[in-house]
Amino acid sequence: MKPTGRLIISPALDGVENMSLDQTLLESTQASGEPMLRFYRWTPATLSLGYFQKAADRQLHTSSQTCPLIRRSSGGGAIVHDHELTYSVCLRTAGAIAKSNAALYDTVHLSIQKALAMQNVTVTLHPDPGAASPSDPFLCFQRRAKGDLICGTDKVGGSAQRRLKNALIQHGSLLLSQSQFAPELPGLEELCGHKINADDLIKDLAAEISRATGIVFRPSPGPSAGELQRARVIASEKFASGQWLNRR
Q: Annotate 51-94 with DSSP letters as a single string.
A: TTS-GGGGGG-GGGTTS-EEE-SS-S-BEEESSEEEEEEEEETT
Please list, in sequence order, all residues whose beta carbon lies within 8 angstroms of the beta carbon of residue 45, skipping any fewer than 6 positions away.
64, 67, 80, 81, 82, 179, 181
- Order of strands across the sheet that contains 36-40: 124-125, 149-151, 154-163, 167-175, 84-92, 36-40, 4-9, 216-219
31 touches 20 (CB < 8 A): no
Geometric angle at alpha carbon 31, from 92 and 237, rounded to 5° = 110
Q: Annotate 34-51 with DSSP letters as a single string.
A: --EEEEE-BSS-EEEE-T
State the catalytic residue, choosing from 67, 90, 140, 151. Answer: 140
Beta strands in 93-219 (DSSP E): 124-125, 149-151, 154-163, 167-175, 216-219
Q: Is 151 a catalytic residue?
A: no
| Active site positions, annotated | 140
